[in-house]
Protein backbone atom coordinates (compact mmCIF):
# COMPACT_ATOMS: atom_id res chain seq x y z
CA UNK A 1 0.00 0.00 0.00
CA UNK A 2 1.34 3.38 -0.99
CA UNK A 3 1.20 6.09 1.69
CA UNK A 4 1.62 9.66 0.58
CA UNK A 5 4.77 11.32 1.98
CA UNK A 6 2.88 14.14 3.74
CA UNK A 7 0.40 11.67 5.15
CA UNK A 8 3.35 9.69 6.52
CA UNK A 9 4.62 12.80 8.32
CA UNK A 10 1.20 13.36 9.84
CA UNK A 11 1.03 9.76 11.03
CA UNK A 12 4.46 10.16 12.59
CA UNK A 13 3.46 13.44 14.26
CA UNK A 14 0.23 11.97 15.67
CA UNK A 15 2.02 8.86 16.93
CA UNK A 16 4.72 10.99 18.56
CA UNK A 17 2.19 13.23 20.34
CA UNK A 18 0.09 10.28 21.56
CA UNK A 19 3.27 8.54 22.73
CA UNK A 20 4.30 11.67 24.64
CA UNK A 21 0.87 11.85 26.33
CA UNK A 22 1.04 8.19 27.32
CA UNK A 23 4.58 8.63 28.66
CA UNK A 24 3.54 11.72 30.66
CA UNK A 25 0.64 9.77 32.20
CA UNK A 26 2.90 6.88 33.18
CA UNK A 27 5.54 9.22 34.65
CA UNK A 28 2.83 11.09 36.63
CA UNK A 29 1.47 7.82 38.02
CA UNK A 30 4.85 6.27 38.79
CA UNK A 31 6.93 9.18 40.04
CA UNK A 32 4.65 12.07 41.07
CA UNK A 33 1.91 10.15 42.84
CA UNK A 34 -0.82 11.69 40.66
CA UNK A 35 -4.07 9.78 41.13
CA UNK A 36 -7.57 10.26 39.85
CA UNK A 37 -9.89 10.94 42.76
CA UNK A 38 -12.06 7.87 43.23
CA UNK A 39 -15.68 7.99 44.34
CA UNK A 40 -16.01 7.22 48.04
CA UNK A 41 -19.68 7.18 48.93
CA UNK A 42 -22.86 9.15 48.52
CA UNK A 43 -24.89 11.15 51.01
CA UNK A 44 -28.26 12.81 50.84
CA UNK A 45 -27.54 16.56 51.12
CA UNK A 46 -30.98 17.09 52.67
CA UNK A 47 -30.05 14.72 55.49
CA UNK A 48 -26.63 16.08 56.36
CA UNK A 49 -27.44 15.61 60.07
CA UNK A 50 -27.41 11.84 59.55
CA UNK A 51 -23.86 11.82 58.18
CA UNK A 52 -20.31 12.43 59.37
CA UNK A 53 -20.59 15.86 57.73
CA UNK A 54 -23.03 17.00 60.43
CA UNK A 55 -19.96 18.05 62.41
CA UNK A 56 -17.30 19.10 59.92
CA UNK A 57 -13.81 19.53 61.28
CA UNK A 58 -10.33 18.12 61.72
CA UNK A 59 -9.76 14.84 63.54
CA UNK A 60 -6.32 13.57 64.49
CA UNK A 61 -6.02 9.86 63.75
CA UNK A 62 -2.52 9.18 65.07
CA UNK A 63 0.81 11.01 65.15
CA UNK A 64 0.98 13.04 61.96
CA UNK A 65 -2.17 11.62 60.35
CA UNK A 66 -5.37 13.62 60.22
CA UNK A 67 -8.70 13.63 58.50
CA UNK A 68 -10.70 16.72 57.68
CA UNK A 69 -14.41 16.77 56.90
CA UNK A 70 -15.42 19.81 54.91
CA UNK A 71 -18.80 20.89 53.56
CA UNK A 72 -18.95 23.15 50.52
CA UNK A 73 -22.00 25.32 50.09
CA UNK A 74 -22.61 28.53 48.24
CA UNK A 75 -20.27 30.27 48.93
CA UNK A 76 -18.08 28.95 51.69
CA UNK A 77 -16.18 25.94 52.93
CA UNK A 78 -17.42 24.85 56.37
CA UNK A 79 -14.63 23.16 58.27
CA UNK A 80 -15.93 23.23 61.82
CA UNK A 81 -16.36 25.72 64.65
CA UNK A 82 -13.59 28.03 65.84
CA UNK A 83 -11.63 28.09 62.59
CA UNK A 84 -12.77 31.53 61.44
CA UNK A 85 -14.72 32.59 58.42
CA UNK A 86 -13.35 31.84 55.87
CA UNK A 87 -11.76 29.03 57.88
CA UNK A 88 -8.05 28.46 58.50
CA UNK A 89 -7.03 24.83 58.99
CA UNK A 90 -3.75 24.37 60.87
CA UNK A 91 -1.48 21.35 60.54
CA UNK A 92 2.07 20.66 61.72
CA UNK A 93 4.79 20.23 59.10
CA UNK A 94 4.89 16.63 57.90
CA UNK A 95 1.17 16.03 58.37
CA UNK A 96 -0.68 13.65 56.12
CA UNK A 97 -4.26 14.78 55.80
CA UNK A 98 -7.14 12.92 54.18
CA UNK A 99 -9.82 15.37 53.10
CA UNK A 100 -13.43 14.26 52.80
CA UNK A 101 -15.40 16.95 51.03
CA UNK A 102 -18.95 17.18 49.79
CA UNK A 103 -21.25 19.81 48.37
CA UNK A 104 -24.80 20.33 49.56
CA UNK A 105 -26.11 22.55 46.78
CA UNK A 106 -24.36 23.00 43.42
CA UNK A 107 -21.10 21.84 41.88
CA UNK A 108 -18.04 23.32 43.54
CA UNK A 109 -14.30 22.74 43.26
CA UNK A 110 -11.64 22.06 45.88
CA UNK A 111 -8.07 22.85 44.94
CA UNK A 112 -5.14 23.24 47.32
CA UNK A 113 -2.46 25.64 46.19
CA UNK A 114 0.96 24.07 45.48
CA UNK A 115 -0.29 20.53 46.21
CA UNK A 116 -1.75 17.76 44.08
CA UNK A 117 -5.31 18.10 45.33
CA UNK A 118 -8.02 19.02 42.90
CA UNK A 119 -11.50 17.66 43.53
CA UNK A 120 -14.76 18.17 41.72
CA UNK A 121 -17.53 18.41 44.31
CA UNK A 122 -20.78 16.96 43.04
CA UNK A 123 -23.76 17.50 45.36
CA UNK A 124 -24.33 14.34 47.38
CA UNK A 125 -21.06 12.74 46.35
CA UNK A 126 -18.21 12.42 48.85
CA UNK A 127 -14.83 13.30 47.36
CA UNK A 128 -11.60 12.24 49.03
CA UNK A 129 -7.94 13.05 48.62
CA UNK A 130 -4.85 12.62 50.78
CA UNK A 131 -2.22 15.33 50.93
CA UNK A 132 1.12 15.47 52.70
CA UNK A 133 2.22 18.91 53.89
CA UNK A 134 6.01 18.90 53.94
CA UNK A 135 6.73 22.63 53.71
CA UNK A 136 5.63 25.28 56.20
CA UNK A 137 3.52 28.00 54.70
CA UNK A 138 0.10 29.33 53.95
CA UNK A 139 -1.82 27.61 51.18
CA UNK A 140 -5.19 28.58 49.80
CA UNK A 141 -8.03 26.18 49.21
CA UNK A 142 -10.03 27.60 46.36
CA UNK A 143 -13.26 26.70 44.67
CA UNK A 144 -12.15 26.31 41.06
CA UNK A 145 -15.54 25.49 39.62
CA UNK A 146 -17.73 28.47 38.75
CA UNK A 147 -20.65 28.27 41.18
CA UNK A 148 -22.43 31.58 41.07
CA UNK A 149 -22.27 35.16 42.32
CA UNK A 150 -20.02 34.42 45.31
CA UNK A 151 -17.63 32.04 43.55
CA UNK A 152 -14.69 34.43 43.83
CA UNK A 153 -14.96 34.68 47.64
CA UNK A 154 -15.25 30.92 48.20
CA UNK A 155 -11.96 29.88 49.75
CA UNK A 156 -10.26 28.65 52.89
CA UNK A 157 -6.66 28.60 54.09
CA UNK A 158 -4.29 25.92 55.26
CA UNK A 159 -1.54 27.00 57.62
CA UNK A 160 1.34 24.54 57.87
CA UNK A 161 3.65 25.35 60.79
CB of 83 to ligand CUA, least distance (A): 18
- Is residue 147 a contact point for ligand CUA (CB under 6 A)? yes
d(CA 160, CA 76): 21
Residues numbered 100-129 forming contacts with ligand CUA, rule: CB under 6 A = 108
Residue 77: which residues within 8 A CB-CB, separation 6 or more?
A: 70, 71, 86, 87, 110, 141, 143, 154, 155, 156
- Is residue 10 a contact point for ligand CUA (CB under 6 A)? no
Residues numbered 36-75 forming contacts with ligand CUA, rule: CB under 6 A = 75
Interstrand relation of 95-103 and 57-62 (parallel, antiparallel or unpaired)? unpaired
Return phi, psi of residue 43, to 5°: -130, 165
- Is residue 153 a contact point for ligand CUA (CB under 6 A)? no
* Segment near ligand CUA (CB under 6 A); pick from 3-11, 27-35, 49-57, 138-146: 138-146
- Is residue 146 a contact point for ligand CUA (CB under 6 A)? yes
Query: Are the C-beta atoms of 142 and 154 separated by less than 8 Å?
Result: yes
| Residue closer to ligand CUA (CB basis): 119 or 154 | 154
Residue 26's Cα: distance from chain center in Å?
21
Q: Where do contacts with ligand CUA occur on this chain (CB under 6 A)?
A: 75, 108, 143, 145-147, 151, 154
Amino acid sequence: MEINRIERYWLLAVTTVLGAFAAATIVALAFFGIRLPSPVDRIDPRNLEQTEFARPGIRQLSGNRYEAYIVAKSWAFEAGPGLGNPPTLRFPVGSEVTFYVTSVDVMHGFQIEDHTANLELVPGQIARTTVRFNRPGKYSIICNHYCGAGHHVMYATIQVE
